[in-house]
Structure 1
Amino acid sequence: MAWLSWVVPPLLAVVVGLETNAASEKLPSWVHVSAWPVLGVLTVLSIAVEFARRRKRDGRSDEARLSDAANALAAAVASQWSRELSGLLAGRALPQPWSTTGRPVLPPAEDVLGPAPVEAWGGLRRLFRRVRAGGSGAPVIDVLRRAAIRGDLDFHGDVDDLAALLPRLPHRQVILLGEPGAGKSVLAGRIALALCGKRAEDDPVPVLLPLSSWRVGEESVRDWIKRRLRADYASPDVERLVDADRLFALLDGVDELPPGLRIEAIRLLGASGLAMLVTTRGREYTDAVRTSRSVPAKALVVELRPIGGADVEKYLSAGLVDGDPRWVPVFKRLRDQPDGALRQVLRTPLMIDLARDRDPDDLLGFTDAERLEEFLLDGVVPAAYPGDRKDKAGRRLEFLAGHLRSQGTFEFAWWKLHRALPSPSRTVGIGIGLMAAALTSVAVWLMVLPTVAGAGEAVALSLAVGCVAGLIVGSLASASEDHEPRRITTRMRGRRLDLAARLGAGAMRGTALGVVIGVVAGVVDTADLTGPALLMGAASGAVFGVAYGLVGWLETPADLVRAASPAASLREDRTTKLVRLAVFGLPFGLSAGLVLGLVAGPRVGLLDGIGAGLLGVVVGLARGPHVWTRFVVARVVLALRGELPWRLMAFLGEAHRLCVLRANGGVYRFRHNLLQDRLAGGLPRKKAAEPVPARSPARSRTRRAVTLTLIVLFSGTGLGIGLPVAGGLQAKCGLTPFDRDIRYLRGGFTYECVGVTDGAYDFSGDGTGISKLIESQNTAAVTGSGSYVRVAVLAPLAPRTFDSRQIRHALRGVYLAQRRYNASHSLKVKVLLANEGSTQAHWAPVVDQLVRMSREEHPLVAVVGLGASTRNSVASTRTLAAHGIPMVAATASELRADGLFQVTPPSSEFAAALRRSWTGPAPEYVLTDEPSDGYVESLRKEFVSAWGVPEIRNGERRDLPGCPAAMLYAGRREGLIRLDDHFAAKCGLGSVTIGSVVTDLSWRTPDRTRSRLIYATPADPSGWSKAPESAPPGFGDFSKEYSGQFGEPPGDVFALLHHDAAEAAFAAIGAALGEKTPKTIAEVLRTVGVNGATGTFSFNRNGTPARKPIPVLTEPGRAPDRHPYLTR
């Protein structure tokens, strides 16, 4: 079926071209002209690149590829065992003498040595050009020569001798026997390292493999070796070395196989014809041979000899101070009782090494060898984890040992940890399903559900969809097959054509998939069967396909042998998994975010793009593989059960550093099998639980088809619903779906309409009349004979920070200033209403609009209002200042930026005014309320500085010390209302005096008079209306104009402050732009005098008002402040 890769890309290109033509009625004409030529070029390039890639891949000779694979494998083996044996070889290593076994398991000498004449052993004479010092005392060459002449098998030597002998034997087969702890695995590793060091170009490559992973009877020896090479060394050509007999197999641990399989394993190994060294325990091998009554006919059988007493004494005394007497009794016992328990135990490297870490006196108290061995093994964990850690570490290591023993293996592979779970497949499926359910629920919540239903229905629907997704993904994960870890590689050498081919094929196939998704979306979206969904599907599919092709090129099987550590292989697979999830998530997120951002604004695009990206991640979770995610589930479950630590890999890494475990590439093993068996106790062993055989190609294709179908349906349905809903968002604001000025954006769990209007749109829902008045002024300014500029009222124009009454009054004040200015100036002002959201949270897109307007014809030249002094307003003023747009704040008093001027005095002036006019008992403390924004913090600081009293933060009413005679409050209106009610309930009406700064006292009605309130305020319209003689000069005219226009007096400070802010900006515009030599508006604002409704004032160098009156009032029984404090 390889021809499909040549035929499918052109067919896909044709399909994409047809669909593009069909869906491009509204596209520019150049698209029709260029679409087909571009697609044709892409098709030709795709075929050419694929042809070049195959020709390059197939052009190399088999011999060259085999040589490259052999050299790469030899380098990996040498690196692996250099790293593993570095500690042993760097220190004082115990000798490992060996000799031909004396057990009745030897085949005839002529079968092992073959019919070769004596002269054929001349190579051995040159090879063994040395004389051993110690040991047998005879040159090895003499031994070999006698064996050849007499036809016997009397061989002996050390590790180097065995490494030299192996490739010289006619059949290159050796079986190495040894008792538990004798160092068989270490010797095999040293032989592998020695053979790699002496290897010529065409010599076989030594590879050490644990026999415990062989499924005896289910696969041949060669098939098993190929499988392990594929898994451990991650090379497509390395398994071909087995068929070419370019491999020297070092097979460790026949005794690690279940007893019932050992005889069959020995028979299959003997019949395999492989060059090999097989290690096993002597007794188990003897029993198997006795039972089968046959031996491998061509294998030399050698056995590790006990380590001599002199070598034991040298090793145990190494590193001690000369004359140290502690080991003298032990050495004496070894010499005096050569058959005693101590000498029987201290015959193997393992026990000798363990004994070195124990108190010598403890070794003399045992008369039974088995008890002494158990004592030495039991001391490994306490010696590694002293103090309180030994119990917890011991329990965890016992669990790990028991798990490995129950699995019939001595290797801990982190990617198989899920097998330690109860019902592994079901538990993993539940865990990954819960991940998918949580991600889907969050994604749905972020996207469309909160826009079409109430909060309760949105939660219910998101949970329902999440549950369905969790069931689907969990079922797929539960039924998926095991995989080996993967890694990401960015090596370009020799892979450029492969990269180009994958990207080209991915783009073609991804575009076709996107077209199908677009068709599904168009069918679902019955309100619009035109081209947007189709084009969006094609575009996102192309992005998806390119990204998927890139990941296919980046991702390769992990080299578990070259891995620096198991933790390193885990990090590589985790990175691979995250990249795969990103490949699924980013195309969905980017395409949805871009389209919905254009339709409903950048904030909606961002949030819905995140939601769509999360849905893509869910698709990635469903597809797998699940190596890292399975490990995460298993680690969490086992940690919750208390069987393994949360930081499992850190714990295993520490155990490796403490020599409790040893690392072999990407896997861990206990220091010795005896230690694992001792920690595991009496748990039964079973046959190794290897991964199930690979599923049939037909089943894999079916699974891929099902996954692809789910992706198409899931994506198309989401796109089909998302596009019309995005238009519905705009309809909620009463606008067209593609309106760019007013947008429906999410704020917390609710949505609101934000943006910029000329008055045609009413954000608050309670000020339609004033919005229409501003719109009429703007229409007159635009249609008149003169020119005009624009000024924006940037504020929270939807109720929350300000209520509807305050918003309405503020806009009335701006309107009066605009009408008065336009009536007397040829350069008109068009007022824009810029709503940054009820909590000012959506300031960013609105400010971006204003910045763009400052560069257009009839530019935006100033901004007034600016809301309250919050973190959001600080950010918005800094952004406007960075673009050189002058600002006049109305109610905000604690904003600081270049080009910013404030009508309301700063907190320091309010505190000074309140301090000057204070009457009655002195305040006992300052209460700071939440939210602690810039205004609250500034007011708190000034109160503490002016009165020198302690402070209580965060408004914890229950912690207030009793009923104070007087106190100061730094906070906003809502907190002051709660504080007033608190003192009334706890202390009685009128018993506490509260000092504060208040801009609106409309809530303080006669039936809500609780405490005595002394407060400073930026204006007193009610008092000034009752006592005109105490009012500022400009208030009277403003009050008459206001009452005449709106039929009521100005009831709060919002109308006055916003009027004065607009008045200041308009005055500066007239002075700056009306002159022959225009000045900047900011320059004029620094010098202009404002005859405002709240007083006649100018601005200081820092933008604060100078000579501005601050009334200080008392409730109840308020009287006008006839001698108000004047700001500096």
Structure 2
Amino acid sequence: MPDRVTDPSAARPLDRLRRRVRTPRQKLVASLVTAAVVLGLGGYGVVRLTTPEDRSCAAGVERPAGSTECIGVNGDGHDFGVGELGDIARAIGAENASLKPDDHVTVALLLPLTSTDGGMRIKMLNELRGAHAYQYRANHESNEELPKIRVVLANTGKGNAHWRTTVDRLIAMKDSADRLRAVSGVATSSTEVREAVTALTGAGIAVVGTTITADDIANAPGNDRYPGLARVSPTNGDEAKALANFGKKVDATKALLVQDTRSGDHYTDTLKAAFAATLKGTPHAPELFTSPPDPNEEGTTANTFRNITLLICDTRVDTIFFAGRHTQLRQFINALGARGCTHRSFTVLTGDEGSYLGADAKLDRRALRSKLTVRYAALAHPDAWVPAEGREVPATGGSPKAYETFLKDVTRDAKEPPPLADGQAIVAYDAMATAVHAIRQATPQGARHPAAADVATQWPQVKGSLRVEGASGWICLDNYGNPYNKAVPIVELAPNGSQRFVQIAWPEGHPPVAPCLPPKRG
């Protein structure tokens, strides 16, 4: 019989028992280690719970609660997480860094920089390019005039949803070392933009709109709702009048209005009112569609347009006035391309939102080869003031020299010429030129900076010999800050996506008389 002590099978249970039995010292050490671990994890948890989450993106910019967008104001080169804005944001930041602390004032570019809409992103990139081109001219090619111009980017977020946060920051900058003296950009005719302009002008800050065209985001006789607001683009009413003067041969009995029923969009609301006034003689009731709350979304309007085109084929119409945003305009053109009556010719006339179509990858360009002509009232075009064979450049209302100066400025450091056909860079350049003009006109002799209130009162004097020689045409403002008889390029969308200049049209039916003094209104 084997010895029990040396039997391995008998020894194992004893070994396991010994391993489970701890000495008092071992127990004390184990307790201390466990306590330390628990306290450490607890302390980490307390720190996590009591330390606010870092939501900053850059100086003056952070992500609001519940949002991933970087919202706020920055002039140090921050691109707000939008990669394609990186180069121009850094160029603006570098120019700002070169300025002496007491020599400059600030101009903000208020835009929805983190918009996810492709067309809007291209628009904003080109606006920043144009604004920076004039910033450089103002700081380096104006005989060392003061003040110099610092530019900051002010992001209101997708759909301008965070305008309040950004506008509050801008208002605080008016009386700080930033010396905010004007806000430009202001590029969409929406309710949010209207409220932003109301807040800024109510705080005594001058605002220069670039591509806002709604008639009700403007001042008028007896209605100074936005004191200190100026615009460099014609109103929708003026666009419609220019289109009407261009298309005087349009037979109203063969014309039809297609319009959005969604209310609160000031671009669409004023455009359809202006077109309705132009088409008083039409026997046809407007064809209606309703865009989504965010008109950049596709929604179901494509289905509606398929039906509308069937009804258009039932009429004798040959000209269609379209009052709606660019997404719905593209859907409508695509539907017309697939219409049953492709043997008939149609012309679509619309406002400046047509400028987005050239870069819209969802546009069915085959539609433009099916006896369909699409023309829109542009805010600017690179060929409008360039002499060409068979096309006479107007003697007043603008000049080739002013456009040549812009072209030199916007291509100065560019690796390749930026796209200019949508007119956005041209208009933003002119808006910055107008802001700088007012800032320097308001600066007293011998002073380095103007008072904010004095900048906002300069607009009634921007006319005659004090007009701005814009690259898009003369900017001579009436007493309410609106451009008088501004040149309106009529542009045709070509099948290859190019935007072909047709001719300049004028709200008054003819170019302004030099030196461009707006007549009395109201």
TM-score, normalised by the number of residues in structure 1: 0.34
Q: Partner of 1:1103: helix, strand, or coil?
A: coil
| Residue 1017 of structure 1 pairs with residue 364 of structure 2 | no
1:777 correspondence with 2:95: yes
- What residue in structure 1 maps to residue 271 of structure 2? 939
2:240 to 911, 915, 936: 911
Match of 2:77 among 760, 778, 791: 760
- Cα deviation for residue 910 of structure 1 reads 0.7
Q: Cα–Cα, structure 1 residues 788 and 1116, in superposed 2: closer, same or farther, change >3 Å?
A: closer
Mapping of residues 516-527 of structure 1, within 5 Å: 523=41, 526=44
**Secondary structure of residue in 2 paired with 1:1105:** coil
Q: Which has the higher helix share?
A: 1
Any conservation in 2 of the 1:905–1:1104 contact (CA below 8 Å)?
yes
The 3 A distance-change label for structure 1 pair 792 and 996 is: same
Equivalent residue for 1:1048? Answer: 417
Supply the distance in 1 between the matched residues of 2:104 and 2:432 (Cα, whole angstroms). Answer: 16
Tell me the equivalent position of 1:957: 305
Question: In the alignment, is the contact (CA less than 8 A) between 2:245 and 2:506 conserved in 1?
Answer: no
| Secondary structure of 1:1021 counterpart | coil
Partner of 1:925: 256
C-alpha change, 1:1113 and 1:858, in structure 2 (3 Å) is closer
Candidates 401, 404, 410, aligned match of 1:1036: 404
- Amino acid in the other structure paired with 2:477: F
| Deviation digits for residues 451-488 of structure 1 (CA, Å, limit 9, x no counterpart) | xxxxxxxxxxxxxxxxxxxxxxxxxxxxxxxxxxxxxx
Q: 1:926 to 1:962 in 2, by over 3 A?
A: closer
Residue 990 of structure 1 deviates from its aligned partner by 7.0
Check the 8 A contact 1:927/1:951 in 2, yes or no. yes
The verdict on how the C-alpha distance between 1:521 and 1:843 changes in structure 2, with shifts beyond 3 A counting, is farther
* Contact 1:759–1:833, Cα closer than 8 Å, also in 2: no
- 2:123 partner SS: helix
Q: In the alignment, does 2:464 pair up with 1:1082?
A: no
Q: Is 2:381–2:501's contact at 8 Å kept on the other side of the alignment?
A: no
Who is 2:488 aligned against?
1110
1:521 is displaced (CA, Å) by 12
Q: Is the 8 A contact 1:1097 1:1107 kept in 2?
A: no
Higher-Rg structure is: 1
In structure 2, stretches of 5+ residues that fail to align are 1-37, 219-225, 291-303, 513-517
CA distance, structure 2, for counterparts of residue 1113 and residue 791 of structure 1: 31
Shift of 1:1026: 7.5
The verdict on how the C-alpha distance between 1:1061 and 1:778 changes in structure 2, with shifts beyond 3 A counting, is same
Q: In the alignment, what sits opposite 1:543?
A: none
- Find the residue that maps to 1:760 and give its secondary structure: coil
Equivalent position of 1:810 in the other structure: 127
2:349 matched to which residue of 1? 995
After superposition, residues 504-543 of structure 1 pair within 5 angstroms as 523=41, 526=44, 530=47, 533=49
Following superposition, the deviation at residue 1066 of structure 1 comes to: 0.5
d(CA) in 2 for partners of 1:878, 1:864? 14
Q: In 2, distance between residues paired with 1:767 and 1:789?
A: 23
Distance 2:411 2:393 in 1: 19
Residues of 2 paired with 1:525 and 1:966: CA distance?
A: 73
RMSD: 2.9
- Runs of 4 or more above 4 Å deviation: 520-525, 1004-1008, 1022-1026, 1076-1079, 1115-1119, 1122-1128
**Are 1:787 and 2:95 matched, yes or no?**
no
Q: Distance in 1 between matches of 2:489 and 2:457?
A: 30
Count of residues in correspondence between the two structures: 406
Describe the shift of the 1:938–1:746 C-alpha distance in structure 2 as closer, same or farther (beyond 3 A).
farther
Aligned mates of 2:250, 2:277 — CA distance in 1: 19
1:1087 CA drift (Å)? 0.8
How far off is 1:929 after superposition? 2.5
Gaps of at least 5 residues in structure 1 are 1-519, 535-722
Aligned equivalents of 1:866, 1:910: Cα separation in 2? 19
Contact 2:460 2:480 in 1 (8 A): no
> 1:782–1:830: 8 Å Cα contact kept in structure 2?
no
Asked if 1:1121 is matched to 2:511, the reply is: no
Q: 2:228 is matched with which residue: 899, 917, 941?
A: 899
Residue 1098 in 1 paired to residue 452 in 2?
A: no
SS at match of 1:869: coil
The residue correspondences of 1:675-824 to structure 2 (distance < 5 A) are 726-727=53-54, 729-730=55-56, 733=57, 735=58, 741-745=60-64, 751-763=68-80, 764-782=82-100, 786-800=102-116, 802-823=119-140, 824=142
Secondary structure in 2 matching 1:847: helix
Q: What do residues 9-45 of structure 1 show as CA deviations (whole Å, max 9, x unaligned)? A: xxxxxxxxxxxxxxxxxxxxxxxxxxxxxxxxxxxxx
Per-residue deviation, 1:1038: 0.7
Match of 2:190 among 870, 875, 892: 870
Q: Is 1:860 aligned with 2:230?
A: no
Say which SS state the counterpart of residue 831 (structure 1) adopts. Answer: strand
Q: What aligned pairs does 1:489-508 form with structure 2 within 5 A after superposition?
A: none
CA contact (8 A) 1:757 1:832 kept: yes
The 5-angstrom pairing of residues 485-634 of structure 1 reads 523=41, 526=44, 530=47, 533=49
- Equivalence for 1:699: none
Deviations 1:127-172 (A, max 9, x none): xxxxxxxxxxxxxxxxxxxxxxxxxxxxxxxxxxxxxxxxxxxxxx
- 1:829 aligned to 2:111? no
User: Aligned ranges for residues 266-345 of structure 1 at < 5 Å?
Assistant: none
Q: Distance in 2 between matches of 1:1119 and 1:1110?
A: 11
1:794 aligns to what SS in structure 2? strand
CA contact (8 A) 1:994 1:1012 kept: yes
1 CA distance for matches of 2:469 and 2:335? 41
Q: Using structure 2 for the length normalisation, give the TM-score.
A: 0.71
- Structure 1 residues 145-224: aligned runs within 5 Å: none
Supply the AA of the counterpart residue of 1:1098: C
Q: How many Å apart are 1:994 and its aligned residue?
A: 1.0
> Per-residue CA shift, 1:302-347, capped at 9, x if unaligned?
xxxxxxxxxxxxxxxxxxxxxxxxxxxxxxxxxxxxxxxxxxxxxx
Q: Offset at 1:931?
A: 5.0
Partner Cα separation in structure 2 for residue 928 and residue 1123 of structure 1: 23
User: Aligned pair in 2 of structure 1 residues 972, 1123: CA closer, same or farther (>3 Å)?
Assistant: closer
CA offset at residue 779 of structure 1? 0.7
CA displacement at 1:830 relative to structure 2: 0.9
Instruction: Give the whole-Å Cα distance in 2 for the aligned partners of 1:533 and 1:1095.
Output: 59
